[in-house]
Amino acid sequence: MATDHSLTADGLRKRYGDVHALDGFDLTVASGTIHGLLGPNGAGKSTAVKALTTLIDIDGGTARVAGHDVRTRPGEVRRRIGLIGQNVAVDEILGGRQNLVMFGRLFGLSTADARTRADELLAVFGLTEAADRAVSAYSGGMRRRLDIAAGLILTPAVLFLDEPTTGLDPRARNEVWQTIRQIAERGTTVLLTTQYLDEADQLASRISVMNHGKVIASGSPEELKRQVGGDRVTVTLPRREALVPLADRLAAVIGETASVDAEAHAVTFEVGAGVVALADIVRALDQLGIAPEDLVLRRPTLDEVFLTLTEKEEVR
């Protein structure tokens, strides 16, 4: 039966001795999307991935992946998923094509079908020219792309990516990001765990933040950013002695409360819609005859969201 969600989890629990690795974990991932799963070390991200990919038994709760229950139909789940762990799993002695053919055979394809699928994936991920070169000669980004290609031999309905760009340089990270976008565009649902918040911001249409074995916040990147406040516009003024009166006059004109940083000669306004407020502030400065040294619009970042949410959770 068709569903709008490729992955659902409801109240998952997993305990190791006195440690509750999952403590009421809930998650819903829409089909054909990239969903980010964030959290500090020890939050339960890897345990959640292991539970959803049937690598560990859960103690309580329910989960369905690609339409099948992970507890009662684990074999059906495994047939429909791909899992790319933190460490590259390809053989460095073999060439790229040999690796993919080997994985194809392990997945049960005939030799001819495995070779055909290997050539398709090498072309998709831009590795055809390096297909017969030993993987030990590949760059970090090329190895990771080959690793992801190996996880796509059977075109999974859901692909789990556990910190796929750890240790890669910026160029290699961008290569992997483009690969992940291409995977989602072809209809595969992607669950991405990452320590890089800009990675989740770049790739994920929705994000869930974990702490202490459960999800503490979910939403689009923009929705989560709004939870820690609106946009901020900072005006740097030329004269310290005029800072407070000018800040008061400017605040009165635009109808927003200002915070003053005397050390930086700056006035900051927290505003709802940054671009609109920026235009209002420029007009107000012109009306008041003020020529600022600098004018900056800054939006909240996922780093601020992450720190705010996890710090609140620690205080409770």
What whole-number percentage of the chain has pLDDT above 90? 47
Question: Average pLDDT in the 285-296 region?
Answer: 81
| Mean model confidence pLDDT for the chain | 86
Q: Report the amino acid identity of residue 217.
A: A
Q: Which residues, 6 or more positions from 75, have their beta carbon under 8 angstroms from its beta carbon?
A: none
What stretch(es) of the chain map to CATH 3.40.50.300?
5-226
- Residue with the bigger pLDDT between 28 and 169: it is 28
pLDDT digits (tens, 9 = 90+) for 186-225: 899 999 998 888 899 999 999 999 999 999 999 998 888 8
pLDDT at 9 over 90: yes
Residues of the chain with CATH 3.30.70.100: 231-299
- For residue 250, give both structure tokens: 């400017």
Second CATH level (architecture) for the domain 231-299? 2-Layer Sandwich (3.30)
pLDDT score, position 242: 67
Q: Which tens digit of pLDDT belongs to each residue from 228-279?
A: 766 778 888 776 656 777 778 777 776 777 788 888 788 887 776 667 777 8
Contact 152, 119 (CB under 8 A): no
Using pLDDT thresholds of 50, 70 and 90, give the confidence band for residue 315.
Answer: very low
Is the per-residue pLDDT at 23 higher than 70?
Answer: yes
The structure's pTM equals: 0.78
CATH superfamily label, 5-226? P-loop containing nucleotide triphosphate hydrolases (3.40.50.300)
Bridge-based pairing of strands 81-84 and 214-219 is unpaired
Distance CA 26, CA 8 (A): 8
State the pLDDT at residue 16. Answer: 94
